[in-house]
Amino acid sequence: MSEHDDQERTEQPSEKRLREAREKGEVPRSRDLSGAVVVLAAVSTLLNGGEGAMQHVRRLYTMGMSYGREALFSDQLPARVLNMALHEALALFAPVAVATMVAALAAPVLLGGLNFSAEALQPKFERLDPIKGLGRIFAMRGLVELGKSLLKLLLIGAVLLMVLKNWQDDLMGTGQGEVGAGMVRAMRLLGHGALLFGSVLALIGGADALYQKFDHNKRLRMTRQELKDEAKESDGNPELKGRIRQLQFQMARKRMMQELPTADVLVTNPSHFAVALRYDEGRMGAPRVIAKGVDELALQIRLVAASHRIPTVEAPPLARALYATTQLDREIPSSLYVAVAQVLAYVFQLKQAVSRGEEPPKAPQPDVDPDLMGPYKF
């Protein structure tokens, strides 16, 4: 990838790119933040259970100084001492082990969330290439990691020197006075020092978490062309979608023209709108629109209807209302029942008059609610 390509990656990653990265196991992770959480969990557990921990330490310390004469000459003494020491050590470190285990599992969730990727577990042999490995070491990310490690070393070293300098008298005082008091003081100093050490790690981990999140987002940035290509891939090519819509329209129009000869009546505007209706009392609950159109399509509908001698009724309000309210091959709404019934009754009377050679009846002009015409009201 060229430097020019990197400079063009100014767009934020899309949801699809972020989702694909998570599927590959590429989520922001911070080892420093995880380490800080583990240390703070261990220190907090030790400080909260300090009294109980002291009892276990005291028993471990005095275990080798409380044997009678018979125990000293018994061949079971080493096994008994080892068993007691293991029990005390387990009771001392079990809470800390559980706390650190839970913290180690929960810490990654704080930054990248819970994520499991089977693809990330697959071996990638290209990582064993020494040349590429040297390239990664001397790449920008490698230099950044080196700088972070040196910075951590300096901060932790400075804190350690500060602790040793300010607590020198207290550390020397742990060896004076009673053994129990010295142990309590030593444990307290150790706990406070570990807490301070953990706090420094937390500061480093927080800063590293922000950097890792920024770096992860930067590596997933996209160019504008990539965004356009992804949009085409997700939504489909606009030209192809337009072609599909055109074919669908042509097929629907062809089916409509094939159904048009079966219409019972054609309601027109008279020139801009044309709606063909069919009603089968035995199969339909209400009259159904089988063809409709405006302008050029309306003209074609009128020509086909005339060639098949379908009765035509000029009722502009009704034609507009039918066009606006009823989809193709759907029954008319109940609000137009009365108006359409008048038209169908006229068609029936017209056929009767023609068959008898009588004068045709007067065409109806049904009343229609203007709101039913929708955008075609005017």
Q: Which of 124-138, 175-189, 190-204 shows the lowest mean pLDDT across its residues?
A: 124-138
- Mean pLDDT of the region 116-134: 55
Q: What is the pLDDT of residue 14?
A: 76
Is pLDDT above 60 for 264?
yes
**Is 249-376 a CATH 3.40.1690.10 domain?**
yes
Counting Cα atoms < 13 Å in the Cβ hemisphere of 63 gives 19
- Mean pLDDT of the region 224-235: 74
CB 63 within 8 A of CB 88: yes
d(CA 138, CA 213): 22
**Position 2 confidence tier, pLDDT thresholds 50, 70, 90:** very low
Q: Domain residue spans in the chain?
A: 27-219, 249-376
d(CA 275, CA 373): 13
Q: Measure CA 355 to chain center.
A: 70
Q: What is the pLDDT of residue 189?
A: 73
pLDDT per residue as tens digits for the range 143-168: 777 777 888 888 888 887 887 787 77
What residues contact 312, with CB distance under 8 A and at least 6 apart? 265, 266, 267, 268, 302, 305, 306
Count of C-beta atoms within a 10 Å radius of residue 360: 13
Q: What is the pLDDT of residue 236?
A: 58
pTM of the complete model: 0.46
pLDDT per residue as tens digits for the range 74-115: 666 566 667 777 777 777 777 888 888 888 888 777 776 665
Q: What is the pLDDT of residue 1?
A: 43
Q: What is the pLDDT of residue 277?
A: 92
Measured CA to CA in angstroms, residue 137 lies from 31, 123, 131, 147 at distances of 18, 20, 10, 12
pLDDT per residue as tens digits for the range 6-24: 457 777 887 778 777 777 7
**Position 177 confidence tier, pLDDT thresholds 50, 70, 90:** low
d(CA 323, CA 328): 9
d(CA 35, CA 24): 24
Q: What is the pLDDT of residue 356?
A: 82
Is pLDDT above 60 for 138?
no
Q: Compute the residue count for the chain.
A: 378
Maximum average pLDDT range among 103-112, 137-146, 324-333: 324-333
